[in-house]
């Protein structure tokens, strides 16, 4: 069963705006990872944040993790049309990666 | 190889038939995962291999599903007596060791349609 829940389920913004999506999870984790998926096929790894980290940056991506609230957020700054995709958080617990239900992001040119 | 390779990319089969889905992980990756993703959902864990052995198969939905990795590299997911509800994209991923805090690399998936 899936552990994570992304919020919102769908997000539509204008190019150049920032996009924020959130992920909540249920149990203790080793780390949390964000993935991007185009057209329902392969997932591309974006960023990994360890359970003892609170914030991490990678290019236009900023991820935060609050283990006390069991939540994470992904911020994409200065969005581009090419950022249009589904975004999933995945929590690593033991040997498994548990994925959330995803946020579908549409960036309008 | 350069990435995780899954074949076939698409498979249409009749209800009741047997299918095999293949995954070629990144060379040297000891950990291999199978996931299933239905439309509009996130990937759902099926099974995890560490080397040749299935370290965790708790996600396999029933005994019609079976996976092997006999030489610790290529893996085959086998589905017997397919049902329409098995229709989904089957994703394979590999990681270097399966240890904590390692990135998993995904293939493009096999889209299985049972008619």
- Span B63-85, pLDDT tens digits: 999 999 999 999 999 999 999 99
* Triad B39, A45, B44: Cα angle to 5°: 35
Phi-psi region of A39 (alpha: psi -120 to 50; beta: other; left: phi over 0): left
Q: What pLDDT is stored for residue A3 in this prediction?
A: 64
Q: Which residue of B has its CA nearest to A32?
A: B101
Mean pLDDT in each 10-residue stretch from start to end of chain A (109 residues)?
76 97 90 88 90 95 96 97 95 80 94
Find chain A residues with C-beta within 8 A of B55's C-beta.
Answer: 95
Mean pLDDT in each 10-residue stretch from start to end of chain B (115 residues)?
90 98 96 93 92 92 96 97 97 83 87 97
Find chain A residues with C-beta within 8 A of B98's C-beta.
Answer: 95
Q: What pLDDT is stored for residue A92 in this prediction?
A: 82
Q: What pLDDT is stored for residue B83 in this prediction?
A: 97
């Amino acid at each position: 069963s899936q552990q994570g829940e992304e919020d919102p389920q769908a997000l539509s913004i204008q190019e150049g705006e920032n996009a924020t999506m959130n992920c909540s999870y249920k149990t203790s984790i080793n780390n949390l990872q964000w993935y991007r998926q185009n057209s329902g096929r392969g997932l591309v790894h974006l960023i990994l944040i360890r359970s003892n980290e609170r914030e991490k940056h990678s290019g236009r991506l900023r991820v935060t993790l609050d283990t006390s609230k069991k939540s994470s957020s992904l911020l994409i700054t200065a969005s581009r049309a090419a950022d249009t995709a589904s975004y999933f958080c995945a929590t690593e617990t033991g040997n498994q990666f548990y994925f959330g239900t995803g946020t579908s992001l549409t960036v309008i040119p | 190889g350069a990435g995780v390779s899954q074949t076939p990319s698409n498979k249409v089969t009749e209800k009741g038939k047997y299918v095999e889905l293949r995954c070629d992980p990144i060379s040297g990756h000891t950990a291999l995962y199978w996931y299933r993703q239905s439309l509009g959902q996130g990937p759902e864990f099926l099974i995890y291999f560490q080397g040749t052995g299935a370290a965790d198969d708790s996600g396999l939905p029933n005994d019609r599903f079976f996976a092997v990795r006999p030489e610790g590299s290529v893996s085959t997911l086998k589905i017997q007596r397919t049902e329409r509800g098995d229709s989904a994209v089957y994703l394979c991923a590999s990681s270097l060791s399966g240890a904590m805090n390692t990135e998993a690399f995904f293939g493009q998936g096999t889209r299985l349609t049972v008619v």
